[in-house]
Amino acid sequence: MQRRKFIQCAGGGVLTSLGLSWGQEIFAQNLPPTLTIEWFGHSCFLFTGDNQKILVNPFTNVGCTAGYKLPRPETDLILISSQLLDEGSVDDFPTDIKILYDPGDYKIKEMTLRGISMDHDREGGRRFGRNVAWSWTQGGVKILHLGGAAAPISLEQKILMTKPDVLIIPVGGGEKNYNAEEAKKVILELSPKIVIPSQYLTKAADTNVCKLSKVEDFLTLIPQKQVGILKGNSLALSSKNLPKNEFLVRVLTI
């Protein structure tokens, strides 16, 4: 059996009832999208741009991801934040796909990616170990995917992350994810332009095991004019017309 190429580095119904609006338009007419983001559930997203497809945190069907369709799209590269089954299951992918799972700086096909080590829980990583946040630029858009994070962001980590255009952030709480209040605090610290919440309770979860809260708990903390609920699981952005003044929250739906 060919060995998989893991790369290491040393160094809507309920939402609609809230009356949430789209907020300001985030891309102008006649500007083609340079980045497309697709959500497959939990913290799994596919990013398409610059003739590259990058998949982050594919999962297997267990616990909070029990009812989602397995995310197995075509991809050029896989990034995982941890090797837990809900954030880093790479079974059934072709063995020649490269996988990054350790923190560090990487260059793949002229694209620079950075993995930033964080604690996966509020106890210094004692319970769930390390989480890797991923930062890179694709289609002219700077992306920061925080994976599963619960610990505050240190000054050193903030410097490594720099200011993102798009922030993927867990909001469901529990033992290894930010809760609503923690997530909002991190957003204000990082000053992104677009925020996409992840890792919250949905109908796909096995509620006997999954102890997350719903995304509404987070959205009630954000001004309504900044929130938009998309009718679908994808968002297309133009790098030339991202919001300039206040961040916008975009909730993808499956």
Q: pLDDT tens across 49-89, in order?
A: 999 999 999 999 999 999 999 999 999 999 999 877 777 78
The string of pLDDT tens digits covering residues 137-155 is 999 999 999 999 999 999 9
pTM as predicted: 0.89
Spatial distance between the Cα atoms of 114 and 100, rounded to a whole number of angstroms: 10
Q: Walk me through the domains of the chain, giving residue ranges and CATH numbers.
A: 17-251 (3.60.15.10)
**Listed residue (134, 120, 123, 207) closest to 164, CA to CA:** 134
Query: Burial, 156: exposed, middle or buried (Cβ in 10 Å; 0-12, 13-18, 19+)?
Result: exposed
Task: Give the pLDDT score at 123.
Answer: 81
Question: Which alpha helices (H) appear in the chain, and where do they start and end?
Answer: 13-16, 155-161, 180-190, 216-219
Q: Tokens representing 83?
A: 């090797």
